[in-house]
Amino acid sequence: MSRTTATVAASLPDHWEQLVTTALLGTDRRTPPGVAPGPQTPSDLLDAAAAATVRRRAGLCPARPAERLRPAPEDSRPPLPHAAARRLAALLADRPGASGGGRRGAAPDLMELLPQWLQAANARGYAAPPQALPALLDAARGRTDLRPAALRFAGPRALWLARLNPDWRFALRAAPGGGPSAPGLRDPQGIRRLWQEGLFAERVTLLTALRSRDAAAARALLEETWATERAEDRLMFLDSLRAGLAPDDETFLERALADRSRNVRETAAELLSALPASALAARMAARAAACVAVDRTRDVPTIVVEAPHECDAAMERDGVVAKAPAGRGERSWWLGQLVEAAPLGTWPGRLGGRTPEEIVALPVADGWQGELHAAWCRAAVRQRDAAWSRALLGEPSAPEAGGPGAVSLAERARLLAALDAGERAAWVAGFIETHGLSEAFQLLGVCAVPWAPPLGRAVVDALNIARDAGSYPWSFSGVMGLAERCLDPSEASRLDALLAIPDEPEDAAPGAGSYWSEAFQRLVTTLRLRGAMLAELTPGGPAP
DSSP assignment of 333-394 equals: HHHHHHHHHS-TTHHHHHTTT--HHHHHHS-BGGG-HHHHHHHHHHHHHHHT-HHHHHHHH-
Nearest-5° angle of CA 487, CA 491, CA 495? 110
pTM here is 0.74
Give pLDDT, residue 192: 87
Give pLDDT, residue 179: 45
- Winning range, highest mean pLDDT, from 56-70, 178-192, 222-236, 462-476: 222-236
Give pLDDT, residue 154: 94
If one compares 227 and 500, the residue with the highest pLDDT of the two is 227
277-296 average pLDDT score = 96
What percentage of the chain carries pLDDT values higher than 90? Answer: 54
Beta strand 292-295 with 302-305 is antiparallel
Confidence band, pLDDT 50/70/90 cuts, at residue 7 = very low
Who's near 247: CB < 8 A, 6+ residues apart? 275, 277, 278
> Is the pLDDT assigned to residue 15 strictly greater than 80?
no
> Is the pLDDT assigned to residue 10 strictly greater than 70?
no
Are residues 474 and 489 in contact, defined by beta-carbon separation less than 8 angstroms?
Answer: no
| Average pLDDT along the chain | 85
What H or E segment, with its residue span, contains residue 533? Answer: helix 512-537
> Which residue type is seen at 148?
P
342-354 average pLDDT score = 96
Return the minimum-mean-pLDDT range out of 91-105, 247-261, 293-307: 91-105
Who's near 279: CB < 8 A, 6+ residues apart? 250, 254, 272
If one compares 21 and 297, the residue with the highest pLDDT of the two is 297
**Per-residue pLDDT tens for 480-517?**
989 999 999 988 888 877 776 666 666 566 667 778 88
Are residues 114 and 128 in contact, defined by beta-carbon separation less than 8 angstroms?
Answer: no
Confidence band, pLDDT 50/70/90 cuts, at residue 191 = confident
Confidence band, pLDDT 50/70/90 cuts, at residue 247 = very high
Task: Return the CA Rg of the chain.
Answer: 33
> Is the pLDDT assigned to residue 408 strictly greater than 70?
yes
| Other Cβ atoms within 10 Å of 4 Cβ, number | 8
Give pLDDT, residue 101: 44
> Is the pLDDT assigned to residue 3 strictly greater than 60?
no
Are residues 225 and 200 in contact, defined by beta-carbon separation less than 8 angstroms?
Answer: no
> Is the pLDDT assigned to residue 541 strictly greater than 80?
no
CA distance 350 to 91: 57
> In 240-278, which ranges are continuous DSSP H helix?
250-256, 262-273
Give pLDDT, residue 4: 40
Q: Name beta bridge partners: 79.
A: 127
Give pLDDT, residue 183: 52
> Is the pLDDT assigned to residue 140 strictly greater than 50?
yes
394-421 average pLDDT score = 76
Who's near 520: CB < 8 A, 6+ residues apart? 463, 467, 495, 498, 499
Return the minimum-mean-pLDDT range out of 166-180, 227-241, 394-408, 521-535: 394-408
Decide: residue 358, CB within 10 A, 0-12 exposed, 13-18 middle, 19+ buried. middle
143-166 average pLDDT score = 91
